[in-house]
Chains A and B, each alone.
Chain A
Amino acid sequence: MNNIAFNIALPLLAAFLLPVIHNGSAKASRLVGPFVLLAMCWFAAAYFIFIEHPVALALGGFLPPLGISFHLDQLSLLMAVIIPLMLLLLWPYTNREGFREEALLLLLAGASSGMALSGDLFNIYVFYELLSVASFGLAASTHNGAAFAATFRYLVISGLGTVLALTGIGLIYTQTGTLNLAHIGQLAAQLDNNVGLAAFALIVLGIGVKAEIFPVNGWVPEVYATAKPRISALLAGLISKLAVLAIVRLLVVAYADTDALSLLLVLGILGIIWGELSAWRAKDLKRMFAFSSIGQLGMVLVAFSIPGEAGMFAGLAMMLHHLLVKPALFMLTENWSGSISSLTGAARQSPLGAALFILFALSLIGVPPFPGFWAKLIMVTGLVGADDSLYLLALGILLTATVIEANYLIRCAIQLYAPADENSSQSAKHGRLTLSISSALGVVLIISLFSITPLGNKLYQIAAEASNRSLYINTTLSNAQVPALRKIQ
């Protein structure tokens, strides 16, 4: 019995029942979450490995485009595997605060999986909403005034964003009369007008609030600075990528050859400039990473705006790399929270933490032979290949931003190794859990460094499949899998 719908059903079921289980036995309730996440991993991985894809799965037994369908290709299944893995890694194992946070995390897992898998625009919107609400709760879970204030800003802008996104979806529905992505793709010609593009802009900026797209990311620095490192890691690493992917799916099926690309490109360029410049003068590590992740997301956006397969390849490479590196860096802020100057000499107290910091910083900058370099190389060749002056401008900005990034990251690294002075924080030692999470991600980074050839080939294959518009449309509209609808007497 294997069905990818379990990846939505199980975490939601567990979250609904968690309060009840908790009232019965608090100990048992602590086991539920990890168990469900493991099961999700298994379902997605099994689908990835054993079942032929790409395939569309009709939910409720209604064939698309009437019913909602899940689009299962390598990309969405890959994300469906990564989501529970990431949550398992960042699960609050030592948290004694209660079941509510765990319930929210499970809901987040279900919503993320839904966003990754769904092939229906409105369904994506619903899961996006679910994801947003869960993330508000998690962001505020630090229980202090600053976190509440930051979350409130986040909530307001996010709410405004969802309204805009909904308007955009509405506009698309008025133009095409359908909500299924594949069906929209088939009718894409009706969207290549100013109403269609306006709808895209509304959706990009609406969903872009989570994707940290400039300029709708004003919430990012404060929320990441006040939330728990685990939560920041989750938001910056995973959630932002899902929002980007939703935009990219829409882009590929309906807006591949339009002005929509230049909108993404311009927003991406501005994001790089603003993010990296702000990070340069950030006062503490959390804000620095927050700004840097804005810059990185800008790079991802620029990469995706390259037309064709090259763009998908570059975008996925940058995205997956950031997904791996940023959570690890955020985890390291756990006990390195004060101003950067108080980190002087922290390497002596936490040598492994400092070494991991350097490893991830180097990969983030894109120093060969670390994976970040290959991602950047793919992106750079893609930008030159796009053969357009705006893309060359983006190339220049990307490279300059890398210099700035190298500057502030290495400045921190050197500070960590400097001899301690009177500013130094006395307790810059990392907890064992934090270190093992970061190390686990570091090990993944090192492994991917040594298996870069097969990884690159696989990623190219995934990108080729994900950027194939007619394949997407045919998979859903011609070959959707639905168990024979039982004719009822």
Chain B
Amino acid sequence: MNRTIISIVIAISLSACSSLGVEPWEKDQLARADMALDSEKLDLALDDHIYFSKEGSSGGRSLAGGGCGCN
């Protein structure tokens, strides 16, 4: 159920790209350092490690990988 909904959302965002978006000179806000997807990458890395070791699922935001004997 959930899977279908999400794949529809992905499909929509893909097909709508030609009409979505802004001109290069309108990217002032998006270019802010705090808008980068990895703007808090240390926090994200530490969080990923905590939740990886304490919960049953992992990954999603980025590649899950292995590399930890905690789970």
Do the two chains belong together in a single complex?
Answer: no
User: Which residues of A approach B to under 8 Å, CB–CB?
Assistant: none
Chain B residues in the interface with A (C-beta under 8 A): none
